[in-house]
Amino acid sequence: MIKTVIAISVLLTTLFQWNGYSQSAQKPNIIVILVDDMGYADVGFNGCKDIPTPNIDRIAKNGVKFTNGYVTFSVCGPSRAGLLTGRYPQRFGYERNPQYRPHDPNMGLPKSESTLAESLKKVGYTSGIIGKWHQGADISNHPLNRGFDQFFGHLGGGHRYFSEELTIQDSYAVDNDEGMSYQTWILKNHEPVQTKKYLTDEFSDEAVRFVERHQKKPFFLYLAYNAPHGPLQATTEYLDRFPNILDKKRKTYAAMVSAVDDGVGRLLDRLESLQLDKNTLVYFLSDNGGPEKDNASDNGLLREGKSSIYEGGYRVPFAMQWKGTVKPGVYENPISSLDIFATISALSKSPVKKDKPLDGVNMIPFITGKNKSLPHETIYLRMFDKKGYSVRCKDLKFVLKNDGVPQLYNLKEDIGEVNDIAKLYPKEVNKLDNIRKKWDSQLIDPIFESLKMSKK
């Protein structure tokens, strides 16, 4: 009798696992690796030749490369807000980079919005952020007060990389000075700590430790590197890897990307050694396009870069893996960073506020081929201060700048947005402009003043 019960139990367990209903499969671990200001063409899986990224490429090789992956804004703060909330940041007035004001509770992510970490907490996840926050420096907006359980990083929009240059112990002693905020000690939860290594290496090491600490229960790791955002700083170890790059700026940028790639490799290796890789979704993307003139990044054929309403501003290197569940391949239809929250919520069954509906979709049915339709009929961008809009609808892209003259491009035939075909297709222009107006009516004006960089 006992043997029969055991046999039935084993059989049922096997059947449930085979059908994808095991507890671990219902609640996979989540890792989102977000880099800062990386060019679209600066990863191997998008054709980069002078900067090897073998570990970042592993994610695309083991999973899916998205050729049309977008973020919600073409600068850091709003883009990250969109990822963390699963909603267009223009809906809640987050359309500017926040200033570094540690005593202003309204400067940053509005309290009316819920984060992915807050949602996952309600279904038993432990959430950690490592690296760049940039969602408000006031204590009320500290990551631990926005759903995260652990924090190892900096509050502002960027940071210096060499430990000897981090000379300000108290992050809250700096007020409205972005330049000085780059020099603060790293916060471990609420406590300032003095780091010893190159900052990218510190963040990578902490990411590995986080996975080791939380390997037995569902976790969400938001590994938000500030690299390769300026200042351009790299160690000799990484610089020496690029003797053939003669341009000093490009060489330093390459070294910074290589440091990130090393860290990604260590993290992936640890997932494998702990046998967590098949129950962990790993995303990789940049928060916006590369500012080519500032950091020598390369957006390839895409027009312009960071801060732009053209493709180079918000179409980014984007890949994900979920070994054993998602087969390797390339996905060509437009997807968005908004889809990360929606996908994770669907898989984990984490709650979403009914009055704050997500703008993304669960991308798994689309990339596995179960859903043949488009994840998004439209991809939007509004830049309030520039009076600029972009609306991508299937292959057509409508652009409206502050001169009020509409532009139209066929991205399938003209990825570089070179040939404006607006005059040839007035009906399409009018249709897309009406779509823009309808979306615009759902948005609000920015709720805080924009960041102004210090000259220090």
Catalytic hit among 134, 154, 159, 376: 134
CB 330 within 8 A of CB 74: no
Peptide bond into 228 cis (omega under 30): yes
Task: Bin 125: left if φ > 0, else alpha if -120 < ψ < 50, else beta.
Answer: beta
134 labelled catalytic? yes
Residue 296 CA: distances (Å) to CA of 35, 145, 232? 15, 36, 10
**Cα 114 to Cα 292, 323, 351, distances in angstroms:** 33, 29, 10
Is residue 204 within 8 Å of residue 195, measured between CB atoms?
no
CA distance 192 to 326: 40
The crossing angle, in degrees rounded to 10, of helices 54-62 and 248-273 is 50
* CA–CA separation, 160 and 163 (whole Å): 8
Quote the CA–CA distance of 206 and 195 in Å, as a whole number.
11
Helix, strand and coil in the chain, % to nearest 5: 35, 15, 50
CB burial of 334-354 (b: ≥16 within 10 Å; e: otherwise) equals bbbbbbbbbbbbbbbebebee
Number of neighbours of residue 43 by Cβ within 10 angstroms: 27
Query: For residue 170, how far is the Cα from the chain centroid?
Result: 28
What is the DSSP secondary-structure string of 156-221?
Answer: SS----SGGG--B--GGG--S-HHHHTTBPEEETTEEE---S-HHHHHHHHHHHHHHHTTTS-EEE
Q: Are 338 and 97 in contact (CB under 8 A)?
A: no
Is residue 76 among the annotated active site residues?
A: yes
- Return the half-sphere exposure (C-beta side, CA atoms, 13 A cut-off) of residue 74: 29
Nearest CA to 389 among 356, 428, 435, 431? 435
Determine the Cα–Cα distance for residues 308 and 317; give it in Å rounded to an integer: 16
Catalytic residue among 48, 76, 159, 393: 76
What number of other Cβ atoms are within 10 A of residue 19's Cβ?
9
* Cα(19)–Cα(142) distance, integer angstroms: 40
- Active-site annotation, residues: 76, 134
